[in-house]
Amino acid sequence: MTDGRSRRREDTRQRLFVAAVELIAERGFSATTVDDIAARAGVAKGTVYYNFESKTALFEELLRHGIGLLTADFRAAVDGLPPREALAALVRAELEYIRRYRAFAQLLLSEMWRTNREWQQTLRLLRGEAIEVIAESVRAGVASGDLPADLDVGTASSALFGVGLVVAVDWLVFQPDRPIEDVQEALLGIVRRVAQT
Amino acid sequence: MTDGRSRRREDTRQRLFVAAVELIAERGFSATTVDDIAARAGVAKGTVYYNFESKTALFEELLRHGIGLLTADFRAAVDGLPPREALAALVRAELEYIRRYRAFAQLLLSEMWRTNREWQQTLRLLRGEAIEVIAESVRAGVASGDLPADLDVGTASSALFGVGLVVAVDWLVFQPDRPIEDVQEALLGIVRRVAQT
DNA sequence: GTTTTTATACTGACTGGTCAGTTTAGAAAG
DNA sequence: CTTTCTAAACTGACCAGTCAGTATAAAAAC
């Protein structure tokens, strides 16, 4: 199944993803040209269109791929943990992810709350999947009494997700010298306080 | 001083601001055309260039105008208040602002953490001015012992600013039916807890 | 007060360039 | 002998910015 041909192809697609994510994080989708993406990936323009339907399709697959990884990390992080520990693990996982896929996180932050774009629907769905993992832990915690009973599951989950994203990206952009541990500690401290019953 | 001519011109500029902010919030800067802006403002394309140097210049002035209003609101909100009350007042002011200038808030969220764009410098400066108002209250609170001594002023201030923006815009985009008071209460509750000495 | 002049505000067709996407003939990899 | 990629030319839509000309309000001249 994974013969040399499809591995090679997967490699090319990966290089295109990396090139696209970096450029789009910097300049935004519309300001990034297909020629730029191809050049940075070290590939001919035709190859982009051999591997993807269109520029938009490339971007949508990129979103699917990136958020898919994040969701998987979230699932792995909470696996088997009780609610309060699960929340701490989620914060750690999110920051770790953002540190590793910095450009993708920046791109997400820029596109997440935009309306009226073609991929809006896709993004909304994917966001829902990632947040649902958080929501499961919050829901369990509220049910078991480990978390405040008056906590609104939906709001708390999306707030946790969004706050991690902003604080981490803000740190990456405006105070890149500061060690990530500081940010993680600050965020964990906040979550711990808010989670107090 | 305010003769018919300059009043008319100011009117046109205002209409262009409103049109531009709505379109850019939806589609982003690059995907918004000058023709679109002119059409929505109900003026000819040439008028845009009569009133502004370029598309980018229009956007930069828009940023200045919008963040200027926010900073002024912040100053008015904290005026004379002791630190802890000042923080609550800032949260209220920020949410009130976002409710009123919804599109601008969305635009800010999308463009704030982008790198390598022409207006990046301007935006960074303006962000600094707004956050400095928050920082003054935090600093005073830490000094007087009203706020935890180990609170990092810079991080806390920018986190407060960013969190308000994200939570509010997330609410506007994904749960528009929910009354703003809920969001305000939730946010105030969090800030109160975090601010505990 | 009516006419002429001037300054300011605005118009919209036009231009030069850019960019997504296509096409082609062929090379390289498997 | 098929799949994947290359290189380069090409098309057509779209778009930022320009410019010659028009409209209008106020000031100047009569």
User: What are the pLDDT digits (tens) for A94-121?
Assistant: 999 999 999 999 999 999 999 888 899 9
Check the CA dihedral A69-A75-A79-A81 and report its sign: positive
Where would I find the beta strands (DSSP E) of chain B?
Answer: none
**What burial class does residue A18 get, using C-beta atoms within 10 Å of its C-beta: 0-12 exposed, 13-18 middle, 19+ buried?**
middle
B106: pLDDT confidence band, cut at 50, 70 and 90? very high
Question: Residue B116: its pLDDT value, please?
Answer: 78
Check the CA dihedral A69-A70-A72-A76 and report its sign: positive
Q: Give the least confident one: A74-88, A165-179, B33-47.
A: A165-179
Distance separating alpha carbons of residues B76 and B99, to the nearest angstrom = 17
Query: What's the mean per-residue pLDDT of chain B?
Result: 92
3-state DSSP assignment of residue A52: coil
Check the CA dihedral A87-A92-A97-A103 and report its sign: positive
Question: Residue A134: its pLDDT value, please?
Answer: 97
Which part of chain A has CATH 1.10.10.60?
A: 1-52
Here the tokens at position A167 are 């604080």
Does the pLDDT value for residue A57 go beyond 80?
Answer: yes
Chain D positions within 7 A of any protein Cβ atom are 3-9, 14-20, 25-27
Question: Residue A3: its pLDDT value, please?
Answer: 83
**Average pLDDT of the residues in B81-94:** 96
Overall fold of domain A1-52: Arc Repressor Mutant, subunit A (1.10.10)
**Average pLDDT of the residues in A148-169:** 89
Does the pLDDT value for residue B55 go beyond 90?
Answer: yes
**What burial class does residue A40 get, using C-beta atoms within 10 Å of its C-beta: 0-12 exposed, 13-18 middle, 19+ buried?**
middle
Give the CATH number of domain A60-194: 1.10.357.10
Question: Residue B2: its pLDDT value, please?
Answer: 56
Distance separating alpha carbons of residues A143 and A158, to the nearest angstrom = 18
B105: pLDDT confidence band, cut at 50, 70 and 90? very high
Q: Is the CB of B197 under 7 A from strand D?
A: no
Hey, how many other C-beta atoms are within 10 angstroms of the C-beta on A55?
17
Nearest to B194 among A25, A115, A190 (CB): A190
- pLDDT, tens digit, for every residue of B163-187? 899 989 998 888 888 888 888 888 8
* Partners of residue B183 in chain A, C-beta under 8 Å: 155
* Partners of residue B171 in chain A, C-beta under 8 Å: 155
- B5 CA, C1 C1': Å apart: 23
- Distance between alpha carbon B119 and the CA centroid of its chain, in Å? 15
Does the pLDDT value for residue A72 go beyond 50?
Answer: yes
- pLDDT, tens digit, for every residue of A1-41? 568 778 899 999 999 999 999 999 999 999 999 999 999 99
Distance separating alpha carbons of residues A148 and A129, to the nearest angstrom = 24
Cβ-contact A133, A74 below 8 angstroms:
yes
- Distance between alpha carbon B147 and the CA centroid of its chain, in Å? 25
* Partners of residue A194 in chain B, C-beta under 8 Å: 189-190, 193-194
Does the pLDDT value for residue B92 go beyond 90?
Answer: yes
Contacts of B180-186 with CB under 8 Å at 24 or more apart are B180/B95, B180/B99, B182/A152, B182/A155, B183/A155, B183/B95, B184/B91, B184/B92, B184/B95, B186/A152, B186/A155, B186/A159
Distance separating alpha carbons of residues B10 and B2, to the nearest angstrom = 10
Distance separating alpha carbons of residues A146 and A195, to the nearest angstrom = 8
Taking an 8 Å cut-off on Cβ atoms, the answer to whether B162 and A182 are in contact is: no
**Average pLDDT of the residues in B96-112:** 95
Q: Is the CB of B47 under 7 A from strand D?
A: no
Which part of chain B has CATH 1.10.357.10?
A: 57-194
**Average pLDDT of the residues in B59-70:** 98
Q: Which residue has the tokens 């791929």?
A: A65
- Distance between alpha carbon A17 and the CA centroid of its chain, in Å? 14
Cβ-contact A17, A40 below 8 angstroms:
no
Taking an 8 Å cut-off on Cβ atoms, the answer to whether A194 and B196 are in contact is: no
Does the pLDDT value for residue B99 go beyond 80?
Answer: yes
Question: How many CA within 13 A on the CB side of residue B33?
Answer: 4
Question: Residue A195: its pLDDT value, please?
Answer: 79
The CATH class that applies to domain B57-194 reads mainly alpha
Here the tokens at position B10 are 């100011």
Residue B188, C-beta contacts closer than 8 angstroms, at least 6 positions apart: B88, B91, B92
Of the candidates A160, B134, A157, the one whose C-alpha atom is nearest the C-alpha of residue A168 is: A160
Ramachandran angles phi, psi of B112, nearest 5°: -60, -40
Which percentage of chain A shows pLDDT scores above 70?
Answer: 98
**Average pLDDT of the residues in B48-60:** 98
Question: Residue A23: its pLDDT value, please?
Answer: 97
* Partners of residue B115 in chain A, C-beta under 8 Å: 25-26, 106, 173
Which part of chain A has CATH 1.10.357.10?
A: 60-194
Q: Which residue has the tokens 């520029």?
A: A55
**Average pLDDT of the residues in B94-105:** 96
Q: What residue of A is the nearest CA neighbor of B127?
A: A174
B1: pLDDT confidence band, cut at 50, 70 and 90? very low
